[in-house]
Structure 1
Amino acid sequence: MPGQGDRLLAAVIEHVAAHGVADLSLRSIAAAVGTSHRMLNYHFGSKEGLLVAVVRAVEENQRQALAELTADRDSTPEQLARRFWKHLTDPALRAHERLFFELYGQAVQGRPGTTALLDGIVEAWVDPLAAYEHRAGLPLDVARARARLGLAVSRGLLLDLVATNDLDAVNAAMEEFLALLGRSSD
């Protein structure tokens, strides 16, 4: 059963995803989710700590979705990639993706309190993706390189989607990427 901090975080995720983080204060977030800024401070330490918790929770939800897909040992890596891409491009996730890029940009710029977001932001994805590719028969170094490339392409295309809302174009680009990967593993 989720605790109060978990319930608050879920409410904040939905609010911040819908409204972004620009010009939001801890007090306005608290009012929007029906709590006090003191409770948010108690659970998350600061506005920046709360925002890092938001992105980490969203990322963890995505990694859980990936883990569920990779549990299917009968799928090829290409089939897995297509199913996960379809999940990531679900319009219901668009606000979360905008939030990810907004906070990621702040973290790479060194905004105080957000840089903790960068801890594991790549490796937390590369490790399970590389493990999957390695189980599919690739040498580990190749699997890790392909996992990092896949992550970079996916994030780039998601940023394209957030900026342009051109799902057909990003889907076509992903299909081309998967075709290239398929040819390189032959």
Structure 2
Amino acid sequence: MADTQAGYRRSTGTPRGNARRDELLELVTDDLAANGLADFSLRRAARAAGTTHKVLLYHFDGAEDVLAQAVRQLRQRRIDKAALTAIAERPTLAERVAEIWPILIGAESAVLSQAMGLAMQDPVRYADLGREATGQYIPVLKSLCPTEWSDERKTGVSQMILATMRGFLMHRRVTGDEEGPETGLAALVRAIEREEAAGE
């Protein structure tokens, strides 16, 4: 993966500059979703965005920054899709978690798993790819919890859901076993049902 350092000043945050940056990031994210992290570089990102690496260096801090921003954007797409589906379709947290699973194993799964692997493999450079994932997921999971729960309880249950589903996703990705995670998900849903039945 290229480690090009920024040689140009970044956008100063003007509305026009921000709009252009967002446009470029959307195109790079589309490429990342389609082609994964392998051989990612600033030049590949520039080709995907229909521009030059110099233009990207004006808006971003280099290849690692572009990658991190694109991973974050891809993850947010997944989160938005999952949250909308869960809230719209089901009334309880257990049912909402069950609705989320098919989205989590969807098109973005492979790339986001690669990003987590990169964070574990090279934490000095890419630890934020893992830390930011938790920061993105937990608030959404808390929003799916019963409104009468305390913030502490929402946080604890959300942490449990996130950690458990991450385990299922990793197992599925590494082993190719689809039945095991489905069985585990059913057990997780039952555990959440018991938590909800326990009341405040």
Aligning the two structures, in what range does the TM-score lie when normalised by the shorter sequence?
Answer: 0.7 to 0.9
Return 5+ residue gaps in structure 2 as ranges: 1-17
Tell me whether 12-21 or 76-85 shows the greater mean CA deviation. Answer: 12-21
Amino acid at match of 1:83: E
Contact 2:83 2:100 in 1 (8 A): no
Match of 1:138 in 2: 149
Superposed structure 1 runs of 4+ greater than 6 Å apart? none
Q: TM-score, normalised by structure 1?
A: 0.79
Gaps of 5+ in 1: none
Point out the structure with max Rg over C-alpha: 2
> Does structure 1 residue 153 correspond to structure 2 residue 164?
yes
Q: 1:53-132 residue pairs with structure 2 within 5 A? A: 53-69=69-85, 71-72=87-88, 75-90=91-106, 93=107, 96-108=108-120, 109-112=122-125, 114-132=126-144
The letter for the 1-side match of 2:129 is: L
Instruction: Write the letter of the residue equivalent to 2:112.
Output: F
Distance change >3 Å, CA 100–CA 78, structure 1 → 2? same
What is the alpha-carbon distance in structure 2 between the residues aligned to residue 48 and residue 88 of structure 1?
25
Q: CA RMSD in A?
A: 2.7
TM-score normalised to the size of structure 2? 0.74
Is the CA contact 2:28–2:70 (under 8 Å) kept in the aligned structure 1? Answer: yes
Distance 1:73 1:143, change over 3 A: farther
Letter in 2 for 1:177: L
What is the deviation of 1:33? Answer: 4.4
Alignment deviations for residues 2-47 of structure 1 (CA, whole Å, 9 cap, x no partner): 9433332222223223333233321233234432111222222211
Residue of structure 2 aligned with 1:26, choices 37, 42, 46: 42
Structure 1 position 156, deviation (Å)? 1.7
User: What's the offset of the Cα at 1:111?
Assistant: 3.9
CA displacement at 1:146 relative to structure 2: 0.7
Identify the match of residue 51 of structure 2 among 14, 28, 35. 35
Number of residues of Structure 1 aligned to a counterpart in Structure 2: 179
**1:37 and 1:154, CA in 2 relative to 1: closer, same or farther beyond 3 A?**
same
What CA distance in whole angstroms lies between the structure 2 residues aligned with 1:72 and 1:21? 32
Is contact 2:68-2:129 (8 Å) kept?
yes
Contact 1:44 1:53 in 2 (8 A): no
